[in-house]
Amino acid sequence: MATSLRERFELLGCIQCGRCTAGCPVSLRTYLNVRKVVYEGVTGSGPRDATGRPEAWNCTTCSNCTDRCPKGVKPMELLIGLRSAAIERGKAQPTVRDALESTLKHGNPWGRIRDKRMDWAEGLDVPVAGEGEKARLLFYVGCTSAYDPLAQAGSRALAAVLAAAGVKYATLGTAESCCGSEIRRMGEDGLFELLSEGNREMFRDRGVETIVTNSPHCMNTFRNEYGEHGITVLHYSQLLAGLLDDGSLKLGTSVDMKVTYHDPCFLGKHNHIYDEPRRVLRAIPGITFVEMDRSRERALCCEGGGGRMWVEPPKERGERLADLRVKDAVALGAARIVTACPFCLKTLDDAVKTSGNEGKIAPIDLAELVAMAL
Amino acid sequence: MNIVVCVKQVPETAEADLKLAPDGKGIVKEGLPLQINESDNYALEQALLLTEEHGGDVTVVTLGPGSSDEVLRMSMAKGAREAVRLGGAEFERGDAVAVARALAAGLKGLSYDLVLTGCVSSDEGHTQVGVALAECLGIPHATYVVQMEMGDGEVTVGRELEGGLIEKLLLKLPCVLGIQTGINEPRYASIMGIAKASKREIALKGASDVGLDAGAVGEAGSRTRIVALSYPPAGEKAEILEGTPPEVSAKLAGVLKEKGFV
């Protein structure tokens, strides 16, 4: 690499104010000091790849540092860049290596075969657009929502809600491949390019005009990292809010439940979608919705992003953030912690168990809650 | 120290519902992703680690169709210097000895102190190619190698035996070692690295290029052949344990005890 980190990531704007570190949710519990990483990038005194700076793998790419920087520096991209330099040299921890190799082989980081990608839809009438067939409104399921049993429930619920609202859509079936969001964040730029080229080609072939995703991570990458493609990209909470507004989606069953909402970082901080999920929640008859103190822009990250589903994070201390999140929700007396992201769903589900709150609270995908109200 | 690593491309079958091919002598490979044979990947890593420590180059050799070049490129992306593919219709459907004979001929002219293979292929699972290769080359061999310590013109290896026993052997170089999984942690080959490696040359050799008659390799050169493949008969021994996790655990422990497994 000829260019310095300073040039590649435009670090000279940094005034060392430290807002990045102050806002970094994992600085509470890891040895990652974002300000210091940027400083050493400016002076050229630090390691040039994550092999020499393992704490770069602690980052969840929640975007707090980048959002809060008063000088427009992007420390998060620097941390991803350090990972990329390690990956290019083949330095990947086994879980990351396996996720990357699986994505190349099977189109998903979970090590599951392509043939089973539509297993979540078994028994449901979910339309599939084959080669050359049109999918003007594409429901992009995403790897985790396709394969993970917990997240599959959200996919099934969303399919039921779309059917109830009479929405004409199609999926890509087993031809769907990973969006590449977590692949890029694990530092595999080449594989990300490969996936994004393949997906753009697939979208063109199917005549896609609008994509609706289960996961905010897929949405973010299609929207902000795929270059110009002219396709409208929505998170399903936005689609559902629109369907409620125009009257095509009617919620007639009362769901008598006290719930709170956990903002996924890639929906909120990355894309400023705070209102639609709340509008959908409030439209559910019978629901009592209470806000956590740390919500919207101030929401606490669950640590599920940035490839962290596959990263064995180095040295940590203190409580996991998802545990804190669950405790906050329990303190509010909520029976359910609603979210709209498969990674959040998984990390919160783990946290319910590790924080000893099983039976008191459970995470649920927003789509599942909406399906209960049909 | 120069090392030759013999690698093979195999279909990944871990989660796949395998179907028998119409001729009943193989499986339908269409739709199965192809990858480096698992223990070969460990053999490659071992070679790379050894040359990083002791100097020298790694050459990867495979026998297979054009798609096998992917495995060679991945190996070069990880650090192998040269790559050779024995390819051509004459090599098809060879048994373990025919494959070993071809590999031995392919190794002529290469300088090596060690030949590493995986200890078993995940598709046909003969566990014979490494041993037969050593016989063809007239050099010593060891299989299921999980430990290695280089000496002066010799190597001490640990072989994995049953019940957690390790057998220590001292072998003179050059020798053939069948590497067992778990001996190291294979590195990752990045897509950028593979793309760069794809510009490098792979030496393609047919039987005549390595001085063999077509009748000595492939099906013609094999003494064994697959007569038929069949599914194992379905038994009626499966028992589904039901209940809460603690109940199921207790039942499972009971079954294991009853059958004498613990």
Evaluate whether residue B139 is within a structural domain: yes
Number of domains in chain A: 3
Is it the case that residue B261 has pLDDT exceeding 90?
no
- pLDDT range class, residue A26, cuts 50, 70, 90: very high
**Across chain A, what does the average pLDDT equal?**
96
pLDDT in tens, A262-320: 999 999 999 999 999 999 999 999 999 999 999 999 999 999 999 999 998 887 888 89
Q: What is the mean pLDDT of residues A319-338?
A: 96
Residue type, A221: T
Rg (CA), chain B: 21
Evaluate whether residue B244 is within a structural domain: no
Choice between B234 and A72, residue whose per-residue pLDDT is larger: A72
Q: Are B191 and A190 an interchain contact pair (Cβ–Cβ within 8 Å)?
A: yes
User: By the 8 A CB rule, do A276 and A340 touch?
Assistant: no
Rounded Cα distance, B133 and A139, in Å:
53
- Do A151 and A236 fall into the same domain? yes
- Do A157 and A233 fall into the same domain? yes
Q: Are A94 and B31 an interchain contact pair (Cβ–Cβ within 8 Å)?
A: no
Rounded Cα distance, B220 and B121, in Å:
22
Lowest-confidence segment of A227-241, B145-159, B222-236 by average pLDDT: B222-236
> Within an 8 Å CB–CB cutoff, is residue A296 touching chain B?
no
- Count CB pairs under 8 A between chains A and B: 56
Q: What is the mean pLDDT of residues A22-26?
A: 95
Secondary structure (DSSP) of A179-219: -SHHHHHTT-HHHHHHHHHHHHHHHHHTT-SEEEES-HHHH
Is it the case that residue A1 has pLDDT exceeding 60?
no
Instruction: Name chain B contacts of A92, Cβ cutoff 8 Å.
Output: 187-188
% of chain B residues with pLDDT over 70: 100
Q: Are B191 and A104 an interchain contact pair (Cβ–Cβ within 8 Å)?
A: yes
- pLDDT range class, residue A96, cuts 50, 70, 90: very high
> Within an 8 Å CB–CB cutoff, is residue B49 touching chain A?
no
Closest chain B residue to the Cα of A90, Cα to Cα: B188
> Within an 8 Å CB–CB cutoff, is residue A98 touching chain B?
no
> Within an 8 Å CB–CB cutoff, is residue B85 touching chain A?
no
A349-357: long-range pairs with CB below 8 Å, 24+: A349/A150, A350/A322, A351/A302, A351/A320, A351/A322, A351/A323, A351/A325, A351/A326, A352/A326, A354/A320, A354/A323, A355/A323, A355/A326, A355/A327, A357/A326, A357/A327, A357/A330
Is it the case that residue A2 has pLDDT exceeding 70?
no
CATH number of the domain to which A321 belongs: 3.40.50.10700
pTM of the model: 0.94
Q: Are A91 and B15 an interchain contact pair (Cβ–Cβ within 8 Å)?
A: no
Closest chain B residue to the Cα of A101, Cα to Cα: B188
Closest chain A residue to the Cα of B191, Cα to Cα: A190
pLDDT score recorded for residue A318? 85
First-to-last C-alpha distance (Å) of chain A: 56
Interface probe for A, chosen from B28, B70, B191 (most Cβ of A below 10 Å), is B191
Residue ending a domain, choose from A215, A242, A269: A242
Residue ending a domain, choose from A189, A222, A242: A242
User: By the 8 A CB rule, do A81 and A59 touch?
Assistant: no
**Count of other CB atoms within 10 angstroms of residue B160:** 18
User: What does the block give as tokens for A8?
Assistant: 């590649």
Domain with B129 in it? 3-216
Evaluate whether residue B230 is within a structural domain: no
Q: Are A112 and B195 an interchain contact pair (Cβ–Cβ within 8 Å)?
A: no
pLDDT score recorded for residue B234? 85
> Within an 8 Å CB–CB cutoff, is residue A1 touching chain B?
no
Domain with A323 in it? 252-372
Evaluate whether residue B186 is within a structural domain: yes
pLDDT in tens, A335-368: 999 999 999 999 999 999 999 999 999 999 999 9
Closest chain A residue to the Cα of B13, Cα to Cα: A113
Rounded Cα distance, B174 and B168, in Å:
17
> Within an 8 Å CB–CB cutoff, is residue B193 touching chain A?
yes
Q: Tell me how close the Cα of A332 comes to any Cα of chain B, in angstroms.
A: 30
Residue ending a domain, choose from A53, A88, A123: A88
- Do A105 and A238 fall into the same domain? yes
> Within an 8 Å CB–CB cutoff, is residue B189 touching chain A?
yes
Q: Which residues pair with A364 in a beta bridge?
A: A338
- The DSSP code for A264 is P
- Do A51 and A127 fall into the same domain? no
Q: What is the mean pLDDT of residues B208-218?
A: 96
pLDDT in tens, B1-50: 999 999 999 999 988 989 999 999 999 998 899 999 999 999 999 999 99
User: What does the block give as tokens for A11?
Assistant: 């670090």
Instruction: Name chain B contacts of A96, Cβ cutoff 8 Å.
Output: 188
| Predicted ipTM of the assembly | 0.90
Evaluate whether residue B9 is within a structural domain: yes
% of chain A residues with pLDDT over 70: 99
> Within an 8 Å CB–CB cutoff, is residue B17 touching chain A?
yes
Evaluate whether residue A313 is within a structural domain: yes
A100 closest CB neighbour out of B16, B185, B188: B188
Evaluate whether residue A214 is within a structural domain: yes
Evaluate whether residue A308 is within a structural domain: yes
> Within an 8 Å CB–CB cutoff, is residue B30 touching chain A?
no
The DSSP bridge pattern shows strands B154-160 and B141-150 to be antiparallel
Evaluate whether residue B256 is within a structural domain: no
- Do A122 and A234 fall into the same domain? yes
Residue type, A215: S
Q: What is the mean pLDDT of residues A153-165?
A: 98
CATH number of the domain to which B203 belongs: 3.40.50.620
Evaluate whether residue A247 is within a structural domain: no
Choice between B164 and A242, residue whose per-residue pLDDT is larger: A242
- Do A138 and A11 fall into the same domain? no
Rounded Cα distance, B170 and A71, in Å:
64
Number of domains in chain B: 1
Rounded Cα distance, B214 and B234, in Å:
41
User: What does the block give as tokens for B65?
Assistant: 């169709």
Choice between A131 and B44, residue whose per-residue pLDDT is larger: B44
